[in-house]
Structure 1
Amino acid sequence: MELDKTDFAILRYLQEDGRINNSDLADKIFLSASSCLRRVRALEEAGIIAGYRAVLDGNAVGLEVDAFVQVTMRRDVEQWHENFSKEVQQWPEVVGCFIITGEANYLLRVRARNLKHYSAFIMDRLYKTLGVLDIRSNIVLQMLKDTHVIDSALMKNHD
């Protein structure tokens, strides 16, 4: 799908407020409500808008620990990637999992109620996962930026 300036404006406003109603969105981008709705639906159908969700404040719901964990796997263990990929899907503490370059194979973002909960996750689940060789943890002390907003200047079709 070729994106134009109007599409980029729609994406910007929806990222700022996913609950904006269609008529308010149409007013902001100077379109009729029906044209705006058609464009939003086209962006959804093309998979550019992947979904809508509430973003929770982890601290407000009792998750005091936020950590990034690098996991290095043993390559001599058969099916190590398939096994780890399956396991990580079952762990509610893992809110993000990425295959990365460098020394480690994976980078996990882990949320836990407290240090005791975090420690139990690391010792009782992660370290006991078949093929795990090494774990390096970085606990977040303070968040300076955390956003899911993708600026249109970064997008490939941006003018």
Structure 2
Amino acid sequence: MFRLDRTDFALLRLLRKNARLPNKTLAEKAGIAPSTALERVRRMHESRTIQGYHAEINPAAIGIGLQAMVVVRLARHSRAMVDSFHRHLQGLREVLAFYHLAGADDFLVHVGVRDSDHLRELALTAFTEREEVAHIQTQLIFEFRRNTELPILRPPDP
């Protein structure tokens, strides 16, 4: 595993809040030289500590008027069924994110749709008509906020 120290954690916290910080600003805020910041960020990319950068898009700007979480319980638990459903979810344009779970439910799927009619149609065609699916439950999302604070749960390496 890639070893992270206090400086790496500082860089990660800054990038989590604003991934578009210029390297010079990033280095200044972390209290290190720009060349050091550049090299450390490069190393974190190579080690897959940093896995990518994402733009936060206003859902309404792209036609999403309603978001929901769909809880899915599979009919059976087999590698083939889980893999098949996983591939299915990746192919749905309305799926914003999904989680494969342990416990009574198997998947939690975050979807973005135009309106309630679109959600109903998606629930029927993309979920209830699938042979893998035994049960779904849909919950509307009134508001979504991403936490930009980084919950670092282990001490930095010396």
TM-score (normalizing by structure 1) = 0.88
Give, in angstroms, the shift of residue 23 of structure 1.
Answer: 0.7
Q: Partner of 2:136 in structure 1? A: 135
How many residues end up aligned between the 2 structures?
156
Percent of aligned positions that are identical: 28
Residues 66 and 139, structure 1, Cα contact 8 Å, conserved in 2: yes
Cα deviation, 1:69-120, whole Å, max 9, x if unaligned, reads: 1111111889321221121111011111111122211111111111111111
Instruction: Give 2:147's aligned amino acid.
Output: T
Instruction: Describe the shift of the 1:18–1:62 C-alpha distance in structure 2 as closer, same or farther (beyond 3 A).
Output: same
Is this contact kept in 2: 1:67–1:111, CA < 8 A?
yes
Q: Verify the 8 A CA contact 1:77 1:131 in the aligned structure 2.
A: no
For 1:100 and 1:121, how far apart are their aligned partners in 2? 21
**Structure 2 gap ranges (5+):** none
Pairing 1:104–2:135 present: no
Q: Would you say the 8 A contact 2:17–2:148 is kept in 1?
A: no
Counterpart CA distance in 2 for 1:28 and 1:78 is 46
SS at match of 1:59: helix
Partner of 1:85: 86
1:10-159 matches, cutoff 5 A: 10-75=11-76, 79-143=80-144, 145-147=145-147, 149-152=149-152, 154=153, 156-158=154-156
Distance (whole Å) between structure 2 residues aligned to residue 58 and residue 158 of structure 1: 37
In 2 relative to 1, CA 76–149 (structure 1 residues): closer, same or farther, beyond 3 Å? closer
Structure 1 gap ranges (5+):
none
RMSD: 2.0
Q: Deviations over 1:116-158 (max 9, x none)?
A: 1111111122111122111111111234x43365323x2x244
CA contact (8 A) 1:72 1:135 kept: yes
Instruction: Give the secondary-structure state (helix, strand or coil) at the position aligned to 2:70.
Output: strand
- Amino acid aligned to 2:64: L
